[in-house]
A and B are shown apart, each in its own frame.
Chain A
Amino acid sequence: MARTEAPSLRRHIEDATSERFFWDRDARACFTYLAGGTSLGGRLGELAGRSVLLATAGQLAAALALIELDGVARRITVLPPDADPAHFGALIAGAEIDAVVVDRGSPAHAVFDLPVRVACAPAIGAFERKPAPALQTEWVLLTSGTTDVPKMAVHTLAGLTTAFAATQPGGDVIWGTFYDIRRYGGLQIFLRTVLGGASLVLSSAGEPVGAHLERLARHGVTHVLGTPTHWRRALMSPAIQKISPRYVRLSGEIADQAVLDSLRSAFPQAMVSHAYASTEAGVAFAVNDGLAGFPASFVEEVRSGVEMKVEDDSLRIRSPGAASRYIGGAATLAGKDGFVDTDDMVEMRGDRYIFTGRRGGIINIGGLKVHPEEIEAVINRHPRVRMSLVRPRKNPVTGSVVIADVVLKSGAEPAATPAEVKDDILKLCRDALPVYKVPAAISIVPEIDVAATGKLVRRHV
């Protein structure tokens, strides 16, 4: 087993000079107490050198367990809250898991009958650790976005935190996020919190957006992160006015100009930044100029060790923050040249690259290819539109056409009828897009499905 001089996660709190917290909806935990305490009932020793599945239901318990496990377990596989139980067996076999950390809400599942089963509570008891050499723990994160068994991407703590050195904020920082910390985007915030001596307000599954925003406000969040979809939903809540972060960040989906402008006007005092990261490629870059897309110059420079290129219209990334490999299976993570193909498609417009959509999300309209995201970006520019979803509909003439579901902004109802708003949106599309990309039909809907990842749910024909 590899030994390393790189400090474990727990090392970062041993020198903490003040108390730092995780808060969820129901409880708080002063995680700096873990320097001399345990959330695992003092059973950490039983997990030493093992391949551990982190299967707590709660994020607070997961956060505490991660701090204890890093440097002790051989491997930690982080189970996201929406993982399909049908995949548990394959994941456990693939990652050679021989121990599980659970809490009271963990799914009851036969495959969790592993040689070691340790309960984690969102509370910290006193515990004296026996000194032991730190392992370089493998962190295994699951990819999202397919209904197949997720791929298991292997990271190290050093790789996961490689983007922090240059960009860790100073001052008293309270992070807040709409993400779950058990996926890449949320895990970044968790790690920034622990390494940066900050505190973190966790999301809670099923919590209404308004209640979540009020909780963020109560704890005085300074830095708030979510997907563009998370933010569009937050902007629909009057409670958005209660938070006044100095840093607002979007990632995980394409940040179009409309959502960037909305956040700019909602938080005039804040830096609005959109970032590109993926479970496989790691964090590639952040864009702070308030404009959609990213400067084309990014692909010519090596920035913080991250190299980018565009090939076959998709963005490729080579980075010290990338996962090293997938566990099991034949799929290779990076090409021979070490670049990870993100399958995110870009197009040069002027001196910027604009994201146009996912390679697998292309809709074929009589042989012409359309990315739903580029149409949504146009629809979202309409002043009455809060969010939209463009999807294919089967068609006897062209195979598919695109149709759009649109959620309108709440608040004072202007005089326009829904039919007039629809016509107005169609006119905007006709002015901005070639005719085959104009939605054949528009429906005004009360809401649009959002996945547990905070991304729009996209179904294919």
Chain B
Amino acid sequence: MSVKLTIVDQMEKIAREHGKILAPLRDDLVLLDSGLDSLGFAVLVARLEDRLGVDPFTASEDAMFPVTFGDFVKVYENGAH
């Protein structure tokens, strides 16, 4: 599964578990409007660390949390390489 598909898969799963409705995941979607709250993103980062082997935010001191879904995917695509 590609990095992007893994992220989409986990976001859908977490939304279901947390009882949230996920917005369509387009690259320009602002994460704050995605339907996941901060706990949802915290869980997402933890799950992606288990699946992709990296938490790019904690690994680098100055990594900024991205604004859009597309940027979020890029951080992982870069981090996973």
Contact = CB atoms under 8 A, between A and B. Distances in A.
B41 A397 contact: yes
Interface string A380-411: 00000000000001111110010100000000
Interface string B1-45: 000000000000000011000000000000000000011011101
Contact of A426 (B17, B57, B58): B17
Interface stretch (A17-25, A298-306, A338-346, A433-441): A433-441
Interface string A408-448: 00000000000000000010001000011010110100000
A34 interface: no
A396 B43 contact: no
Interface in A273-291: none
B42 A365 contact: yes
A326 B18 CA distance: 49
Contact of A435 (B18, B41, B49, B57): B18
Given A394-B58, A396-B65, A401 B50 contact: no
A89 interface: no
Interface of A: 365-366, 393-398, 401, 403, 426, 430, 435-436, 438, 440-441, 443
B47 A441 contact: yes
Interface residues of B, number: 17
Q: Could you tell me the dominant secondary structure of chain B's interface residues?
A: helix
B42 A366 contact: yes
Contacts of B47: 440-441
B31 to A, nearest CB: 10
A396 B39 contact: no
A401 B40 CA distance: 11
Contacts of A398: 38-39, 42
Interface of B: 17-18, 38-39, 41-43, 45-47, 49-50, 55, 57-58, 63, 65
A435 B57 CA distance: 23
A440 B43 contact: yes
A312 to B, nearest CB: 27
21 contacts: A366-B39, A393-B46, A394-B55, A394-B58, A395-B42, A396-B57, A396-B58, A396-B63, A396-B65, A397-B38, A397-B65, A398-B42, A401-B46, A430-B17, A435-B18, A436-B39, A440-B42, A441-B46, A441-B47, A441-B50, A443-B50
